[in-house]
Structure 1
Amino acid sequence: MPLLSGAEPFRHEGGEVGVLVCHGFTGSPQSVRPWADYLAERGFTVSLPLLPGHGTRWQDMAITGWQDWYAEVDRELWRLRETCSQVFLCGLSMGGALALRLAARHGAAVSGLVLVNPANKVHGLAAKALPVVRHLVPTTKGIASDIARPGGVEVGYDRVPLHAAHSFRRGLRRLDAELPQVTQPLLLMHSPEDHVVPPVDSARILARVSSRDVTERLLENSYHVATLDHDAPAIFEQTHAFIERLSVGARGAATRG
């Protein structure tokens, strides 16, 4: 199945500090590609995978689930560890949830996390009906392109496959129990006005992780897909500063970039 334009995975071989960038639910690498490009231009080794079932058509996503998406980012983390002395994780929305699970399971192999509007729960009364409704109705309306910037467009599906949504909900519930295992330095940036993931998700994540080095930033001028929104430059700059502060040799990588 042909990929949607902009949905291609991205890999850049740079220095010994690696960064794994994870996109969101029903989205594609396009939503976080500027983030990945910014870090690649500064000398880091960057991996931005395409999650299974994404970037083509919603029917392909309907036969995938949480385990498939997590397995993909887990493989990329191992791949980065083969050549990098340190690896940092960056994630938008569901990508943030996947990054948190990687951090919980891989411990010291992850040097830090940068999360933008990370998901913690599928909200609403409809979510509780997913176990039954998904067998009766295949999809619901899409969630792509929640962007305040005029003309901002996210490459993602216009429908949400409910089988995949049910799997996502189950995965988030499992992750919530694992959050206390996250001990790495954390930079969490979230939008007060987000029409996909409410700020309460960020608050719960901050309350449950065991990280002691925690920084919270508000994205006052952006909606959910903040990496394509007004606050994107600040996200990129603060991500770079965070990684540079925590990584050995990051200044040298930045200079070469």
Structure 2
Amino acid sequence: MKGCLLIHGFTGSPFEVQPLADYLAEHTEWKVAVPTLPGHGEELELKGILHHEWIECAEEALKDLLDECEEVYLVGFSMGGLIAGYLAARYPVSRLVLLSAAAYYINFEQLLKDIKEIINDSLNGKLKENELFNRYRKKIISTPISSTREFKKIVKLSKSVLGEIDIPTFIAQGEEDGIVPIKSAYYLYDKIGSSRKILRLEPGAKHLICHCDGQMELFDEIFCFLKEKNKGRSLR
């Protein structure tokens, strides 16, 4: 049996990667695991949670898959991508998929565009319909500053092992991501040690790339990559 572990992002939940998890479950008989990191979920309880607890949670889920499966793939979104990369450098997984992985964070140019859209919706009485505002307003209020520091520790730790990743790696990044800038994807492409790397930039996609309009084409390409029948193209 094959297994696939999907890891969500900082202040997030399995919702962020669930469309891809559902796609894989529908198209395969793989064991698909999508854990909720400590303090995360739709209701955040991050106070007092340390970065190593997030890593350990994902690590335990990975160990379970390695015990049960002949071959295991790792998929990580945003901070989950950094955790996935860290684990890929230390465990015998076969392939790595990084989605909007946050080696760098806050794309100010795109963020300003998103804020302008939120302001326009507010002026037009449509603020309650703005998904970006609704999803991130609550997160900002519920995220302690100490948790942001713990997130930065994940970034530093993962960057230190990128050169040790020697398995095929697929990197996907939304071109209109207001949280993670495109330079993060290029940085990962350059620093990861594997000789087999693919970089896909998704037009029109924001941070939640698994929920973008082009999700099915993206999922098809990821699936082909995981099955070693990749039809993607390197951009570098």
Range of TM-score over shorter length: 0.7 to 0.9
Determine if the alignment matches structure 1 residue 21 to structure 2 residue 6.
yes
Post-superposition shift, 1:243? 1.1
Letter in 2 for 1:158: K
1:207 counterpart = 2:198: no
1:47 aligns with 2:33: yes
Query: In structure 2, how many angstroms separate the alpha carbons of the residues matched to 1:208 and 1:198?
Result: 16
**How far apart are 1:231 and its partner, in Å?**
2.1
* Equivalence for 2:139: 158
What TM-score, normalized by structure 1, do the two folds share? Answer: 0.74
Change (3 A) 1:31 1:179: same
Q: Which has the higher helix share?
A: 2
What is the match of residue 186 of structure 1? 169
Question: Residues of 2 paired with 1:182 and 1:206: CA distance?
Answer: 11
Structure 1 residue runs of 4+, over 4 Å off? 150-157
Do 2:104 and 2:183's aligned partners in 1 also have CA atoms closer than 8 Å? no
Aligned to 1:121: 104
Identity between Structure 1 and Structure 2 (%): 29
Q: Is the 8 A contact 1:18 1:87 kept in 2?
A: yes
| Aligned: 1:98 with 2:83 | yes
1:174 maps to what in 2?
A: 157
2:217 aligned partner? 234
Preserved contact between residue 189 and residue 218 of structure 1 (Cα < 8 Å): yes
> Aligned partner of 1:45: which letter?
K
Q: Is the 8 A contact 1:121 1:173 kept in 2?
A: no
Q: Is the 8 A contact 1:91 1:116 kept in 2?
A: yes
Distance 2:69 2:183 in 1: 35
The aligned runs of 1:9-88 (5 Å cut-off) are: 16-42=1-27, 43-58=29-44, 60-88=45-73
Tell me the C-alpha RMSD between the 2 structures.
2.2
| Aligned partner letter, 2:102 | A
In 2, distance between residues paired with 1:123 and 1:198? Answer: 6
Counterpart residue type for residue 192 of structure 1? E
TM-score normalised by L of structure 2: 0.80
Q: Distance in 1 between matches of 2:98 and 2:7?
A: 10
Cα distance 1:19–1:165, how it changes in 2: closer, same or farther (>3 A)?
A: same
Aligned partner (choices 86, 93, 106) of residue 110 of structure 1: 93
Shift of 1:56: 4.9
Q: Which runs of 5+ in 1 are unaligned?
A: 1-15, 125-145, 247-257
- Number of aligned positions between the proteins: 205
